[in-house]
Amino acid sequence: MVERLKPWLWLSPQVAHKWGPLFLNTYGRFKPLQTLTWSPFAWRDLDFTNPLGIAGGVDKNAECIDGWWTLGAGFIEVGTVTPRPQDGNGGKILDRDKRAHAVWNKMGFPNRGAEFVARQLKGLYQPHFTPIFVNIGKNRETKLEAAHEDYIACMKALGDSADAFVINISSPNTEGLRELLQPENLQRFLEPLVKASHENMGSRSSDQPVPLLLKVSPDITNEELKKVLDISLNLNIDGWILTNTSIGMREGLRFPSDGGVSGLPLAKRSKELLTHTIDYLGERRKGKLIVSSGGVMSPTDVFERLRMGANLVQVYSALVFNGPFFFRQVADQADLSPGLKG
Ligand SMILES: Cc1cc2nc3c(=O)[nH]c(=O)nc-3n(C[C@H](O)[C@H](O)[C@H](O)COP(=O)(O)O)c2cc1C
């Protein structure tokens, strides 16, 4: 009944965003913790009870993890976390278009900082019910030339509580950040992170370094993608998340011209980048993790991304339009979806 009425869509996007955590934490407290198992997947020493998780930005401060576990997420990405706490951008930072199934945001990494998130993660049930990725970024005032220092500071603060780090240099809402993803800057930026990850002891669950995943922008060209993949492979980056929000894709939408667009308008480009990545890597993808994000709006979309070759799938906008019981809806239909491993 609640699922059909979608009461969260009666609220303004800001209000729904503000009160969502209260709902989740209350729900997490009263429902027994369960995991939803369908198409279980293992990668390195991590076990995913199912391949569908929440994308970066949904739980920025790791405040609702029990709730997400209870709702059946197969893995959780928290953040973007920056070394020091910071507020979001001023003015309007969030909007949605129900008709187009699109979300717009210009948040700019509001978060309570790496130490707070580390404390949150340490307070969780151990071992984690499902893997937790930590998405890391730089503080607004940190100069681009020193950006790597912020990422390394996050890795140090969170290294013993993260199952993987997501390096976010693809958000459009921190000035200049995406320049780091440009092939001419990427090598210089990533190298110290990889070095630090090797120096930074083992991870929570093994004596290997915490895996590093690179989150890619949907706005790079196919040629740039190839260069990004070559550079990442060369540095032994462990996988990619395809994709973040777009600075374009607002045809017919009344969103402001800055910020990033998520949801249905992203689907086509996100799928193209997934296909290009898999084709270009070929045999070289062995042992690497490919996560598809962007415009996954229905259970059918989840299964399509998996059939296309993604190891894992993430959602943000689908939770805005379908609500928090999306994980259960997908699990129910997974049993009926032919060809899925399980
Ligand atoms: C309101 C909002 C906030 C977001 N915040 C972050 C963030 O902090 N870090 C990040 O890497 N991605 C962030 N994203 C991008 C999502 O993680 C995801 O990559 C993107 O929304 C595409 O997925 P979707 O179409 O399922 O929404 C945010 C997206 C939205 C809508």
pLDDT of residue 207: 72
Mean pLDDT of 251-273: 95
Tell me, in angstroms, the distance from the centre of ligand 1 to residue 260's CA: 9
- CATH class for the region spanning 2-334: alpha beta
Note the pLDDT of residue 324: 86
The CA R_g of the chain, rounded to the nearest whole Å, is: 18
pLDDT digits (tens, 9 = 90+) for 15-71: 666 667 667 677 666 676 777 899 999 999 999 999 999 999 999 999 999 889 989
Q: pLDDT at position 323, please?
A: 86
Of all protein residues, the one whose alpha carbon is nearest to atom 11 of ligand 1 is 56
Dist. CA 174 → ligand 1 center (Å) = 13
**Are the C-beta atoms of residues 216 and 228 closer than 8 Å to each other?**
yes
For 304, other C-beta atoms within 10 Å of its C-beta total: 17
Q: Which atom of ligand 1 is nearest to the CA of 103?
A: 31
Confidence of residue 90 (pLDDT cuts 50, 70, 90): confident
Amino acid (1-letter code) at residue 105: N
Contact of 93 with 18, CB cutoff 8 Å:
no
Return the residue whose CA atom lies nearest to atom 29 of ligand 1.
Answer: 57
For residues 44 and 127, give the distance between their C-alpha atoms in angstroms, rounded to a whole number. Answer: 16
Residue nearest (by alpha carbon) to ligand 1 atom 23: 294
pLDDT value of position 129 = 87
Query: What is the reported pLDDT for 108?
Result: 93
**Percentage of residues in the chain with pLDDT exceeding 70?**
88
Phi-psi region of 166 (alpha: psi -120 to 50; beta: other; left: phi over 0): beta
Distance CA 156, CA 246 (A): 30
Higher per-residue pLDDT: 339 or 266: 266
pLDDT of residue 126: 80
| Average pLDDT taken over every residue of the chain | 90
pLDDT attached to residue 8: 64
Distance CA 262, CA 267 (A): 9
* Segments making up each domain of the chain, as ranges: 2-334
Q: pLDDT confidence of 2, banded at 50, 70, 90? A: low
Q: Which residue has the tokens 């965003």?
A: 17
CB hemisphere CA count around 222 (13 angstroms): 11
Does the structure show a pLDDT above 70 at 315?
Answer: yes
Assess contact for 56 and 317: CB atoms under 8 A: no
The residues lining ligand 1, judged by C-beta closer than 6 Å to any ligand atom, are: 55-57, 60, 80, 94, 103, 105, 107, 109, 135, 168, 171, 215, 244-245, 262-263, 266, 293-296, 315-318
Supply 58's token pair: 């949904």
Structure-token match 């690179």, residue found: 214
> In the predicted model, is pLDDT for residue 72 greater than 60?
yes
pTM for the full predicted model: 0.93
pLDDT in tens, 213-239: 999 999 999 999 999 999 999 999 999
> From ligand 1's centre to the CA of 137, what distance in Å?
13
pLDDT, position 58:
93
CB 239 within 8 A of CB 287: no
Residues with a known catalytic role: 171
Distance of CA 156 to the CA centre of its chain: 20
The answer to whether 304 and 311 are in contact (CB under 8 A) is no
Alpha carbon distance 60, 116 (integer Å): 11
Residue percentage of the chain with pLDDT more than 90: 75
Q: What is the pLDDT of residues 134-183, one digit of tens each?
A: 999 999 999 999 999 999 999 999 998 999 999 999 999 998 999 999 98
Residue located nearest, by CA, to atom 7 of ligand 1: 57
